[in-house]
Amino acid sequence: MVDMTTAHPAPTVEAPTIEVGVGPVTFDDLLAVARDGAPVALTEDALTAIDRARGVVEELAAGAEPAYGISTGFGALATRHIPTEMRHQLQRSLVRSHAAGSGPEVEREVVRGLMLLRLSTLATGHTGIRRETAELMAAMLSHGITPVVHEYGSLGCSGDLAPLSHCALALMGEGDVRDADGELRPAAEALAAAGLAPVELEAKEGLALINGTDGMLGMLVMAIADLRRLLRTADIAAAMSVEGQLGTDRVFAPELQAIRPHPGQADSAANLVRLMADSEVVASHRTGDCNRVQDAYSLRCSPQVHGAARDTVDHAASVAERELASAIDNPVVLPDEGRVESNGNFHGAPVAYVLDFLAIATADVASISERRTDRFLDRSRSHGLPPFLAADPGVDSGLMIAQYTSAAIVSELKRLAVPASVDSIPSSAMQEDHVSMGWNAARKLRRAIDGLSRVVAIEILTAARALDLRAGLEPSPATGAVVRLLRDNGVAGPGPDRFLAPDIDSVVSLVQSGAVLAAAEEVIGELA
């Protein structure tokens, strides 16, 4: 599968400014900032809340009684009281030592997403950050300055410590960043070029910048957006397969779905009915001489599998919405009561569980897609199509190895479906003795979603060739539009063998960009 850890330059399209206030950011806000490069600004109510919480921290910092994260060490070192004159060094040391990531760079959109979500928590007025520190983070997002964050380093408890620490390090003018053009530069140099000055962190600020589930949450929100598009595209692929394999659309009738009232199943079945409407291929075997009683499970049960995945995505979205409305930090400032309290809200379990759940659903949707693809290639199951859809079987291999590629990816997705959140390795001298591994769950889900898009693309490639081979019968208007999209983009129809990888890559791009979905929806309207 594709390398998911390449750093990408900022988009060149100008996006409207996203305002970050005391309330939660939305899914659309995060996607705009992470993927479209939208600039960010803090609202006045956010700045007021930040100032109020900062006053509580400064009062506690001036007091004689030790306060965790303000005048003590961290984790297993929390019993060490830090003298006033050393507290600037305490914050610098925290960020420098925790910026311990390793491995390839993670994607620019992931870093921008986690920065926005950390800024959103800062804006709630529960962290004790100073306004100038929060404003610098907003300015970095607006100028497209993206800290280099590495693949490994987060246990998903005490937040995504290492990834967030690399971002905090850049605020201090240290470490490496990518500028708006994607060029690797020292942070101090990139800040200066943008007319920005680094901050010197004061009491509690280092901890406030690094103690959150922002990385895994940002990846969850993006995964939900990707899966919602991909599951509608999978319905298109399934419709093309049912049609191309001379299956029936009667099993998708709404009265049959109503007696098992899962909402995702109903939506998927309704999509299949609409996608196959007015198909000459389907109409050709609605006659009394058709001797097949039932289609194979991979055709007949497509709405049940796709629908279960849709319901899983909706559950994950409800968890993400609650997390977006949260202020994740430890200790947390309670300005109304003038105190700072330790808590366990940084634990990533709620996010980690649904990330793993989505990986399971992703693997299963890919699995049923690959089975539909395979049926086209076996002459004993394809109802009159040539072996492997080859032009001259024996001389030509047709799409034989495209199915191998799909099967290889599905096998990998099954491995990626093994939960990360059931693992826990103690850290910090057993102080942090149970962790979520939510970052790992998010990273593997991203790879799984990439794999699903490739498996669905291979099914669409295969089904399109099969529909072309049903000579004299027109596919439905919606599926026909998808076939034309492929042909207009240089993807070959039936004929002698040719270099197949570029055709697969072209369809993958059409799936991932949303072009396949758009082609069908232009004909029949928005799919459920």
| Residues annotated as part of the active site | 68
| Structure letter (DSSP) for residue 389 | G
Tell me how far the alpha carbon of residue 258 is from its chain's centroid: 31
Residues facing residue 243 across a β-bridge: none
Q: How many C-beta atoms surround the C-beta of residue 496 within 10 A?
A: 11
Q: What's 167-197 look like in SS3?
A: HHHHHCCCCEEECCCCCEEEHHHHHHHCCCC
Residues facing residue 112 across a β-bridge: none
Q: What's 199-231 look like in SS3?
A: CCCCCCHHHHHHCCCHHHHHHHHHHHHHHHHHH
Q: What is the largest CA-CA distance in the chain?
A: 91
d(CA 201, CA 282): 67
Cα angle 240, 246, 252 (rounded to 5 degrees) comes to 70
The 3-state DSSP class for residue 81 equals strand
β-pairing, 184-186 vs 176-178, is antiparallel
Tokens of 428: 């910090």
d(CA 504, CA 461): 7
| Structure letter (DSSP) for residue 252 | G
| Secondary element (H or E) of residue 254 | helix 254-258
- Cβ–Cβ < 8 Å for 332, 343: yes
Tokens of 199: 């901050």
Print burial letters for 27-57: b (CB count within 10 Å at least 16), e (below 16): bebbbbbbbbbbbbebeeebbebbeebbebb
- Cβ–Cβ < 8 Å for 460, 486: yes
- Cβ–Cβ < 8 Å for 39, 180: no
d(CA 147, CA 113): 12
β-pairing, 146-147 vs 150-152, is unpaired
- Helices (H), ranges, 378-429: 400-416
d(CA 27, CA 227): 14
- Cβ–Cβ < 8 Å for 163, 149: yes
